[in-house]
Amino acid sequence: MARIVQKFGGTSVGDIERIRNAALRVKREVDAGNEVAVIVSAMANVTNQLVEYVHEFGALYDQKEYDAVVSSGEQVTSGLMALALQELGIPARSWLSWQIPIHTDDAHGKARIEIIETAEAKKSLATGEVMVVAGFQGIGPDNRVTTLGRGGSDTSAVALAAALEAERCDIFTDVDGVYTCDPRIIAKARKLDKVTYEEMLEMASLGSKVLQPRSVEMAMKYGVRVQVRSTFDEANGTLIVDEDEVLEKEVISGIAYSRDEAKITLVRVADKPGVAADIFGPLSEANINVDMIVQNVSEDGAATDLTFTVTKGDLARAVAVLEERRDDLGYARLVPDPDVVKISIIGVGMRSHAGVAQQMFSALAKEGINIQVISTSEIKVSVLVAEKHTEKALSALHTAYGLDVS
């Protein structure tokens, strides 16, 4: 007998029929004699709708009430899933985050799980009852409901699997695993049987939204065995594993993209010590994360151009912060550009291979795609290009690195 965590995403619980279908997947584990905790997302699109309702109240809404509203989708599906299981003759009970409880910090809208109390959960599982847990939500220090950021049910599932020392955490979704690139954009994308925690963390952080980055971080930290698989067929999914479990290492395992980037160029900033600190200090104080940065060499030693990226959602605020300080910073012009995409190649094999980045640059050059900003780390290279080139760039890179299915 083992303890298993199964998570079902929005499409997998998109209507009553699908909830019944997902319940059959749970039944199989129960019939095999396992203790099962199920995490559910809200029904497909429900969270988007709830977010839109909140946005009706303007941009400066109360974050605690945002969480009260957007966490509600998961309450509905947890109850419905418990009913679907009961219909199959399986004892099941829904659990909201405060009932377990799942404690988080107070960062409403993007809270982090701090500790999960497991005494009640373990007692319940030991009776043979299936726990159906509302994903995405937690309970903050002041006992108010919090949410974990979009896609956060993945993190609820992995965190619960870690806390319960579960043998497996299966993430059921609408694709049958992690692919070399988003299969909805690249038809020739290939399913990976295994991917390392590190690569998956980069892919997720760089835009592959099949898993929330925080869930991968947590799986890596606690050694949770995560498998991404389809709710709709029986195919084996993708296992996320330690690096030594991957025998044949590809140089590039995946290509990710993020449209959630916006570029800001400050034209003719003074080229002298302290300027970067003067620009990025106020942005960081305003809680705006800066991602890629490039500073051009100044021709006359007096002024230079500085380009960097922020998320699309932060663009307006970043522009406001910089314009407010225009006199102190003394730049000639500020040019915002939301029409950009960040494309990244990821692979642990990069550590031991030279020329990987060069291959990326020439594949893009061959397509006539101009690279605006570059950033690298040990296992990834990212470039910023015009958003209209997204599909063409992904497809060219996928072919260039030999990732296309034959």
Q: Is residue 178 near ligand ADP by the rule CB under 6 A? A: yes
Structure tokens at 192: 């990976």
The tokens describing 216, both together, are 């991968």
Residue 10 or 347 having the CB closest to ligand ADP = 10
Angle between helices 72-87 and 16-31 (to 10 degrees): 60
Site string for ligand ADP, 133-152 (x = CB under 6 A): ------------------x-
If one asks whether residue 140 binds Mg ion (CB under 5 A), the answer comes out as no
Nearest approach in angstroms of CB 211 to ligand ASP is 10
The residue (of 121 and 171) whose beta carbon lies closer to Mg ion is: 171
Q: Should residue 152 be labelled a site residue for Mg ion when binding is judged by CB under 5 A?
A: no
Binding status of residue 41 toward ligand ADP by CB under 6 A: yes
In the complex with ligand ASP, the residue whose CB is nearer, 135 or 213, is 135
> Are 40 and 133 a contacting pair, CB within 8 Å?
yes
| 179 lies in the site for ligand ADP, by CB under 6 A | yes
> Which tokens in the block code for residue 317?
């605020």
CA within 13 Å, CB half, 60: 1
Quick check: 174 binds ligand ADP (CB under 6 A)? yes
Compute how many residues bind ligand ADP; rule: CB under 6 A.
19
Partner interacting with residue 178 (select from Mg ion, ligand ADP, ligand ASP, none; CB below 5-8 Å by kind):
ligand ADP
Q: Which is nearer to ligand ADP, 9 or 347 (CB)?
A: 9
Report which of 171, 226, 232 is spatially closest to residue 40, judged by C-alpha positions: 171
Q: Are 373 and 341 in contact (CB under 8 A)?
A: no
Task: Name which of ligand ASP, Mg ion, ligand ADP, none residue 257 binds, using a CB cut-off of 5 to 8 Å depending on partner kind.
Answer: none
Residues that bind ligand ASP (CB under 6 A): 9-10, 41-42, 47, 73, 135-136, 150-154
Instruction: Give me the least distance between CB of 45 and ligand ASP, in Å please.
Output: 8
Q: Which is nearer to ligand ADP, 228 or 279 (CB)?
A: 228
Within positions 8 to 27, which residues make up the interface with Mg ion, using CB under 5 A? 9
Q: To the nearest whole angstrom, how small is the minimum distance from the Cβ of residue 296 to ligand ADP?
A: 33
- The closest residue (CB) to ligand ASP is 153
| Contacted by 132, from Mg ion, ligand ASP, ligand ADP, none: CB < 5 to 8 Å by type | none
Residue from 135, 151, 177, 254 touching Mg ion (CB under 5 A): that is: 151
CB closer to Mg ion, 208 vs 309 = 208
State yes or no: residue 188 binds ligand ADP (CB under 6 A). no
**x/- site string to ligand ADP, residues 249 to 278, per CB under 6 A?**
-----x------------------------
Q: Least distance in Å: CB of 157 to Mg ion?
A: 10
Binding residues for ligand ADP, rule: CB under 6 A, are: 9-12, 41, 151, 173-175, 178-179, 181-184, 208-210, 254
